[in-house]
Structure 1
Amino acid sequence: MPAHFHRPPRLLPVTALAAMLALWLPAQAAPEPIALPIVRQPLTLSWYANLHPSAATSLHDLSEQTAYRELAERTGIRVAFQHPPIGGEKERFKLLVVSGKYPDVVEADWADYPGGPAKALKDGMIVPLNALIAHHAPNLSALLDANPDIRRQISTDDGTIYCFPMLYIDPRVRNVWGPQIRQDWLDKLGLRQPTTLAEWHAVLSAFKTRDPNGNGRADEIPYSTFTVPGVRNAPGLPPGLWPFLGAFGLAPEFYRSGGRIRYSPAEPAYKDFLATLHRWYREGLIDPDYVSQEQKPFDTKMSAGRIGAYAFFNGSGLGRYTLLARAGTPGFRLAGVPYPRAADGRRHITYPPAAQIFRNYGAAISRADRNVVETVKFLDYGYSAEGSLTLNFGKQGVSYTLVGGEPHYTDAVRRHPTLSVSDAILRHARPQYGPLVQDPRYLEQFYALPEQRQALAAWADGDTDLLLPPLQAGGRNARKFASLMSDIETYVAEMTTKFILGREPLDRFDDYRAKLDRAGMQEAIGYMQAAYDQYRRKPIQATLPGLPSGKPIPVATAAPTVPAAAGQ
């Protein structure tokens, strides 16, 4: 990236942009079938995208990946990738935005664009895709028509689709985080996996008093957690404590109940949640270092066989800790356990991404692209059965084979002499991120341990009714909302910690709630309610705004059906 930037070219008026887009579109409503190769003469697309650290262990850029070599052979389109430096992705994306010089395709987390994706469209950096998808993307069109909620999640408030999305459709690929427990300790003490708060209390108390690690010292930490610098936490609540919110009908920060938006720290039930955690903390069931502990000291405690339960990811948590600990702790066994039941018997999943089929990440087409139709067809091919297999598994006979019609990674992936399974997968395919539908069959093979596959089922045993879809709160009042929440979150974090540690008595909870209202809590909730109402009003038809040939394509209005994954 040069040290200086050219002034961005003058942007086209919206009417001119619509007219230019119309030239790319035939006068028809149904998408054209994609014939291969897409182009008769070789075509190269420039493409900005992050390079996953695991891919960087064996690839200079994604054009060397087996999947993109195979796609180039089939489609006639080669991709010249531009990758930001690992660790500097956000800063480089900001520089790209202000440069005014864009590649044909920009793949990014569009929540990072100043003002969000709607502003990127308004600024003219990227082009609206509704009409292009409706005419030239039969695979993504079919997916959106069958799943109205996906259309809502991948579009701006006015219904404009701005990128070819990374989708997590199957619940198994969304439930990759949850509570985990030392199953070997449970077995040794003759205990069952806890399912309610009362059972959790009994199990953690046994971990505290009955020496499950067998070293003759009372050094067990029944429940621990940690924070990751730079990763957002709920105010005063590291993620490891989130599973217990659901037992009180709450979720981290804002949640939905009967169509109404609520803020957990302002709810009466939050007092009961705090009272439970305070009791557990007072009894020594929660790690005394939980407030400021980061992952390294947590890892040390886990490796020393001191931690009984926590909540984290399946791969970097359950899988990693199992492999690290088994060498020094014979019989070490972790298990993913379901979220605790609420008083009404329901299990509420409280990991926010579990409800998000789309997480703002996808490939947009920039205004610089002079081969828009071909680009749309190339991107859409990734949502076809064949394209999805390629992006998730690579090339048949090289990185995967079909056994009974199901894709299985070959030994080139599962038993690579120098690469981990994760690194080897990304040498050949990119199922972890990109414009595609993540295939759960990839995840089942990525998770090599039977305990990891069991955890997927355990964490999916619940509902996501409390969790919100991705929302952009505030609209024109975004700055006001952000200002309100900055002060509110600071106060909530302070008081939540004080209540749990016992530095503030819970009989002052009503005073705390009153101060939240004085700080503008109800106004902030109103902004989120407006954002949620707008989300539910989003068009669920394939409208083609502002284009001469644009007509709605009717879609089903029943509850969305969610397929397992493209290509299954």
Structure 2
Amino acid sequence: MKRKSMIALALASTMLLSACSSSNGASDTTNSSSNSSSSTTNATNNSENTTSEPDSSHPSYLNMDSQFPIVNEPITLTVMVSQGAVQGDFEDIYVFQQYEEMTGINIEWINVPSGVRSERINLAMNDVGNMPDIFLKMNISSVNQLQYGDDGAILDLSQANLLETYAPNFYSFMEDNPNVKQSQTSPNGEIYSLPAAVDSPATKINRKIFINQTWLDNLGLAQPVTYEDWYNVLYAFKYDDPNGNGIQDEIPLTQSAGNLTSMFQGMWGLGNRGIHHTSFDIDETTGSVRHIKTADEYREVLEYIHKLYTDGLIDPEFLTYNDQKASALVSNDQLGVYLNTNLAMLPKEAEEHFVGIEAAPMGPNGDQVWSFMRSSLHSTGAFIISSECEYPEAALQWVDYFFSDEGMLFYHYGVEGETYIQTDDGYEFMPYILDRMDEGKSYDEAIADITPYGYGNNPTVMKAPYFAGAEEDPIPSQAAANLLPYTPDEVWPFFNYTIEENKIITDINSPINSYTTQKTAEFIMGQTPINDDTWKEYVDTVYAMGLEQVLEVYEAAYARIK
């Protein structure tokens, strides 16, 4: 509680300074960008008062006279950042090297491999006196944010007009997108993080099905639509030698168990509130929150996927799925169907063979829901300021630039003429960067030392034309357009919970998720047969673990956003 008292005292001082200041407080300034036709809102002093007297409503270390540098004298911030598999150290990324020069803010990077991210977050949050100033791309959940905030480990950005004053670009985006504000605001009104946001169908639809059109052509098959079509096409991919090498070495479909069920659950009407809540949606017959994993329809999904597995139509090693394995299969012309947000993790030749499916899979009752749909959020917890940060105002200005059009372009592409060029269609990386893919590198590998956005959870907006992600490439973009008509009419944002609800989510729902994940794999592989007795035992077990309490929490959280 001592940490929370110190935060409150510091913020109270900021509010007092603002209240005592003259009318020349922070206002919005519009700056022309050499890289973009749009403007950037900045927390700069726009007063016509030309005296050199400092504005007492802001900390004296800030430069309030222009967009950059952010500070009058160099300062240093420590940033803990999640590091993807093909990303090097963040101090070596071109965008951040340039940004240090622009802002006057030196960054001491703490690079954390994504595989140990959760462990390192917990250690850092409990290391009083040695916490980093900022947590970047660490994907800290709303559940954990509330707990860390209650412990006083992280800063509540809703206080003292911090966002309005020092993050006006993000604040404007949040006010314009109610589902973002809902997801970012706790039941008590706290805001602990800036999110990763999305603003186009290609990025909102976070998984698309890509099918090997070359194989379809070789076998004279049309794209699958119905659940029967899907079985027949996958069967032909397995047994009719679509790659023509005379060897039965094809893998019709490879994906993780969770994505397999999500890929096909819409054929039975499940997942009708989008992707942010993978185990819950609405039972349209009752209007009540439904637990997807215990619904009778989910049993039918598992029976369908079990048949695919039994007949050899999905990868027998799906439990150990990863993108590297899929990439190797594509290189050897052994993969028929690929589920992902784009083709960036595959070799470049994938573009010669794979196309997006033209329609979402349709079930036996005509259900055709594509549940992989986000709200205006990609993910939460992309940028968090610790309670030990000495310069929270500068930290907010540092990140807020990335929520302007100019900053989005810079974050994703770098500097015009150095790392990208402008084309009639938008922007593209310089040839020396794109040529790396001809050397066998994936898209994410090719850009890893240029931009930090690989592996997601970036505190910016993925928005065309400023977003450089492969989601906006022609094939994934068309795949998203094809699936858009089948996405839910209502997409739930991330929910926020009270402390009491949070405890139920952590103590009850997390073990339920672990159990349903385990049983899903067992049902698919036949380790547990699917029949009336085993299904009843499974459902009863989930309810005995406390599912009713979790459903009550979801009903309450849903009611708050209606």
TM tier, shorter chain? 0.7 to 0.9
Matched ranges for 1:104-253 at <5 A? 104-109=133-138, 111=140, 116-130=144-158, 131-225=161-255, 227=256, 237-251=257-271, 252-253=278-279
Q: Which secondary structure state, in structure 2, belongs to the residue aligned with residue 388 of structure 1?
A: helix
Of 371, 394, 412, 1:392 maps to 412
TM-score (norm 2): 0.76
Deviates more, 1:189-198 or 1:381-390: 381-390
Looking at structure 2, the residues matched to 443 and 243 of structure 1 have their Cα atoms a distance apart, in angstroms, of 26
Looking at structure 1, the residues matched to 510 and 122 of structure 2 have their Cα atoms a distance apart, in angstroms, of 23
Looking at structure 2, the residues matched to 85 and 291 of structure 1 have their Cα atoms a distance apart, in angstroms, of 25
Q: CA deviation at 1:480?
A: 4.3
Q: Which secondary structure state, in structure 1, belongs to the residue aligned with residue 174 of structure 2?
A: helix
Contact 2:79/2:136 (<8 A) preserved: yes
Deviates more, 1:462-471 or 1:390-399: 462-471
Q: CA deviation at 1:156?
A: 2.3
Looking at structure 1, the residues matched to 151 and 139 of structure 2 have their Cα atoms a distance apart, in angstroms, of 13
Distance 1:61 1:523, change over 3 A: closer
Looking at structure 2, the residues matched to 191 and 421 of structure 1 have their Cα atoms a distance apart, in angstroms, of 30
Q: CA deviation at 1:281?
A: 3.7
Counterpart of 1:349? 370
Amino acid in structure 1 at the alignment position of 2:169:
N
Amino acid in structure 2 at the alignment position of 1:174:
K
Contact 1:349/1:464 (<8 A) preserved: yes
Looking at structure 1, the residues matched to 94 and 249 of structure 2 have their Cα atoms a distance apart, in angstroms, of 49
Contact 1:184/1:333 (<8 A) preserved: yes
Q: Deviations over 1:251-307 (max 9, x none)?
A: 342223556321112212123223323443444433444456667776665555444
Q: CA deviation at 1:250?
A: 1.2
Contact 1:275/1:500 (<8 A) preserved: yes
Q: Which secondary structure state, in structure 2, belongs to the residue aligned with residue 350 of structure 1?
A: coil
Distance 1:165 1:148, change over 3 A: same
Q: Which secondary structure state, in structure 2, belongs to the residue aligned with residue 95 of structure 1?
A: helix
> Cα RMSD (Å) of the superposition?
3.8
Q: CA deviation at 1:247?
A: 0.9
Q: CA deviation at 1:405?
A: 8.4
Of 69, 77, 80, 1:46 maps to 77
Counterpart of 1:285? 313
Contact 1:221/1:287 (<8 A) preserved: yes
Looking at structure 1, the residues matched to 249 and 425 of structure 2 have their Cα atoms a distance apart, in angstroms, of 51
Amino acid in structure 2 at the alignment position of 1:178:
K
Distance 1:493 1:305, change over 3 A: same
Amino acid in structure 1 at the alignment position of 2:122:
K
Contact 1:139/1:381 (<8 A) preserved: yes
Deviates more, 1:13-22 or 1:174-183: 13-22
Looking at structure 2, the residues matched to 297 and 164 of structure 1 have their Cα atoms a distance apart, in angstroms, of 33
Counterpart of 1:91? 119
Contact 2:177/2:376 (<8 A) preserved: no
Q: Deviations over 1:482-525 (max 9, x none)?
A: 44345544554455445445552433334543444344332322
Q: Which secondary structure state, in structure 2, belongs to the residue aligned with residue 504 of structure 1?
A: coil
Q: Which secondary structure state, in structure 1, belongs to the residue aligned with residue 343 of structure 2?
A: helix
Q: CA deviation at 1:66?
A: 3.7
Q: Which secondary structure state, in structure 1, belongs to the residue aligned with residue 140 of structure 2?
A: helix
Contact 2:83/2:111 (<8 A) preserved: no
Deviates more, 1:240-249 or 1:416-425: 416-425
Q: Unaligned regions of 5+ residues in structure 2, if any? A: 30-41, 43-65, 272-277
Q: CA deviation at 1:215?
A: 3.5
Contact 2:204/2:378 (<8 A) preserved: no
Of 400, 414, 429, 2:434 maps to 414
Q: Which secondary structure state, in structure 2, belongs to the residue aligned with residue 427 of structure 1?
A: coil
Contact 1:139/1:384 (<8 A) preserved: yes
- Determine if the alignment matches structure 1 residue 430 to structure 2 residue 484: no
Contact 2:470/2:476 (<8 A) preserved: no
Q: CA deviation at 1:13?
A: 6.0
Of 295, 305, 320, 1:267 maps to 295
Matched ranges for 1:5-44 at <5 A? 11-12=4-5, 16-23=9-16, 25=18, 31-33=27-29, 34=42, 35-37=66-68, 39=70, 41-44=72-75
Distance 1:467 1:267, change over 3 A: farther
Q: Unaligned regions of 5+ residues in structure 1, if any? A: 1-7, 228-236, 327-331, 538-568
Of 494, 514, 517, 1:470 maps to 494
Matched ranges for 1:331-350 at <5 A? 333-337=353-357, 338-342=359-363, 347-350=368-371
Distance 1:426 1:159, change over 3 A: farther
Counterpart of 1:403? 423
Looking at structure 1, the residues matched to 86 and 16 of structure 2 have their Cα atoms a distance apart, in angstroms, of 39
Looking at structure 2, the residues matched to 11 and 246 of structure 1 have their Cα atoms a distance apart, in angstroms, of 45
Q: CA deviation at 1:176?
A: 4.3
TM-score (norm 1): 0.76
Deviates more, 1:204-213 or 1:8-17: 8-17
